Structure 1
Amino acid sequence: MTDWLTDGRTGLDPSTVETSTLLSRKHVVPSLGARKLRDLSAEDVDRWLATKAKALSTRTLQTIHSCLNRAVRRAMARDKVKRNVVELCLVPQGRAGRPSKALTFAQADAVLKGAAGTSMHAYIVVALLTRARTEELRALTWDHVFLKGRPDFDPPQPPHIAVLRSVRRSGDTKTRKSRRTLALPARCVEALRQRFEDPGRERLAADEKWEEHGLVFSSAVGRPLDAANVRRAFRQALKDIDGVDAEEWTPRELRHSFVSLLSDRGVPLEEISRLVGHSGTAVTEEVYRRQIRPVIQTGAVVMDGIFGADPQRPWTRGNR
Structure 2
Amino acid sequence: MPDGWSASGRVKRRYVYGATEKECARKFRDLKRELWADDNARAVNPRKTVKQWIDDWLDDLKLHARPRTFTSDSGLARKWVVPTLGARKLIDLTARDMRKLEAATRAGGLGQTSTHYVAALLRRILIAAKAEGYKVPDSILVARMPAPGESDRTSIPVDDAMQLLSAAMMPESWPPPPELDRLPYGSVKKLPPTALAERKRIRRARMAWRRAADTDPSRWVAALLQGLRSGEARGLTWDRVDFDSKTLTIDRQLQEFPVGSTPPGISVVHLESSYHLTPVKTRAGDRVVPLVPWMVHALKKWRDIQQPSPYGLVWPRLSGSPMSQPDELSAWKALQAVVGVEHPSGRPFVLHEARHTTVSLLLAADVPPPVVIAIVGHSTFSSSQPYSHTDMAAAREALAKVSDRLGLELES
TM-score bin, normalised by smaller chain: 0.5 to 0.7
How many angstroms does 1:64 deviate by?
4.8
> 1:125: which partner in 2?
221
Shift in alpha-carbon separation, 1:161–1:20, aligned structure 2, 3 A: same
1:176 aligned onto 2:280: no
1:256 aligned onto 2:345: no
Shift in alpha-carbon separation, 1:68–1:272, aligned structure 2, 3 A: closer
Contact 2:280–2:286 (Cα < 8 Å) also in 1:
yes
Distance 2:127 2:370 in 1: 45
Shift in alpha-carbon separation, 1:185–1:89, aligned structure 2, 3 A: same
Distance 1:36 1:89 in 2: 18
Taking the TM superposition and a 5 Å limit, the aligned residue runs for 1:297-312 are none
Secondary structure at 2:249's aligned position in 1? Answer: strand
Give the letter aligned to residue 337 of structure 2: K
Contact 1:102–1:254 (Cα < 8 Å) also in 2:
yes
Which one has the bigger strand percentage? 2
How many angstroms does 1:234 deviate by?
1.6
Paired-residue identity, %: 22
Deviation readout 1:76-114 (Å, 9 max, x if unpaired): 96x9xx423487245624242432211111111001111
Taking the TM superposition and a 5 Å limit, the aligned residue runs for 1:232-251 are 232-244=330-342, 247-251=347-351
> 1:311: which partner in 2?
none
Taking the TM superposition and a 5 Å limit, the aligned residue runs for 1:27-38 are 27-33=80-86, 35-37=87-89
Give the letter aligned to residue 259 of structure 1: V
Contact 1:163–1:178 (Cα < 8 Å) also in 2:
yes
Shift in alpha-carbon separation, 1:60–1:165, aligned structure 2, 3 A: farther
Unaligned 5+ residue runs, structure 2? Answer: 1-49, 172-212, 256-261, 267-277, 382-412
User: Which of 203, 227, 231 is the matching residue for 1:135?
Assistant: 231
Taking the TM superposition and a 5 Å limit, the aligned residue runs for 1:110-259 are 110-116=163-169, 117=171, 118-120=213-215, 121-147=217-243, 149=244, 157=245, 159-167=246-254, 170=266, 171-200=278-307, 212-244=310-342, 247-259=347-359
Shift in alpha-carbon separation, 1:111–1:90, aligned structure 2, 3 A: farther
Shift in alpha-carbon separation, 1:197–1:105, aligned structure 2, 3 A: same
How many angstroms does 1:262 deviate by?
2.0
Distance 1:126 1:142 in 2: 14
Give the letter aligned to residue 326 of structure 2: A
> 2:199: which partner in 1?
none
Shift in alpha-carbon separation, 1:2–1:214, aligned structure 2, 3 A: farther
Distance 1:226 1:5 in 2: 30
Shift in alpha-carbon separation, 1:131–1:65, aligned structure 2, 3 A: closer
Distance 2:73 2:283 in 1: 28
Shift in alpha-carbon separation, 1:60–1:51, aligned structure 2, 3 A: closer
Shift in alpha-carbon separation, 1:192–1:64, aligned structure 2, 3 A: farther
Distance 1:220 1:68 in 2: 44
Shift in alpha-carbon separation, 1:237–1:47, aligned structure 2, 3 A: same
> 2:192: which partner in 1?
none
Contact 1:125–1:187 (Cα < 8 Å) also in 2:
no
Contact 2:236–2:252 (Cα < 8 Å) also in 1:
yes
Distance 1:227 1:26 in 2: 22
Contact 1:235–1:247 (Cα < 8 Å) also in 2:
no
Secondary structure at 1:16's aligned position in 2? Answer: helix
Shift in alpha-carbon separation, 1:37–1:138, aligned structure 2, 3 A: same
Contact 1:231–1:250 (Cα < 8 Å) also in 2:
yes
Shift in alpha-carbon separation, 1:189–1:146, aligned structure 2, 3 A: same
Distance 1:190 1:10 in 2: 43
- Pick the structure with greater CA Rg: 2
Contact 1:62–1:91 (Cα < 8 Å) also in 2:
no
Q: Count the aligned residue pairs.
A: 259
Secondary structure at 1:218's aligned position in 2? Answer: coil
> 2:97: which partner in 1?
45
Superposition RMSD on alpha carbons, in Å? 3.6
How many angstroms does 1:71 deviate by?
7.9
Contact 2:283–2:380 (Cα < 8 Å) also in 1:
no
Deviation readout 1:135-162 (Å, 9 max, x if unpaired): 3222211001123x2xxxxxxx3x2211
Shift in alpha-carbon separation, 1:276–1:75, aligned structure 2, 3 A: closer
How many angstroms does 1:237 deviate by?
2.6
Distance 2:375 2:355 in 1: 11
Deviation readout 1:108-136 (Å, 9 max, x if unpaired): 10011112342332211112111222232
Secondary structure at 2:288's aligned position in 1? Answer: strand
Give the letter aligned to residue 72 of structure 2: T
> 1:61: which partner in 2?
116
Contact 1:20–1:64 (Cα < 8 Å) also in 2:
no
Distance 1:76 1:261 in 2: 46
Shift in alpha-carbon separation, 1:213–1:160, aligned structure 2, 3 A: same
Shift in alpha-carbon separation, 1:90–1:197, aligned structure 2, 3 A: farther
Distance 1:198 1:232 in 2: 23
Deviation readout 1:207-244 (Å, 9 max, x if unpaired): xxxx7211112234433334323222221232211333
Contact 2:156–2:349 (Cα < 8 Å) also in 1:
no
Secondary structure at 1:239's aligned position in 2? Answer: helix
